[in-house]
Amino acid sequence: KNKTSVALQAVKQAMNIEEDVNVTISSNIPTGQNLGSSAALSVAFARALNELYRLNLDEKEIREAAMAGERVFHGKPSGIDVEAA
């Protein structure tokens, strides 16, 4: 699996979602340019799952789930990019 798939799986696990989800990613943020694309993806995915499954998570819980994805991409992320996204 590629890092993106693993990261999205990590977000799902952090949100206790076991079902398979088909995802199409379309982004204008270039990857690998230190612009926070992985954080933007992780936060967007967490928010989409929150809405899809009507989990009613608050912003802190969304950030925590997104951080699971960021850890896949960056190991020990600072959280600044997730906070900004």
Contacts of 50 (CB under 8 A, 6+ apart): 15, 56, 57, 62
Does the annotation count 81 as an active-site position?
yes
Amino acid identity for residue 76 in this structure = K
Of the candidates 10, 45, 50, 81, the residue annotated as catalytic is 81
Name which of 26, 31, 52 is nearest 11 in CA terms.
52
Catalytic residues: 81
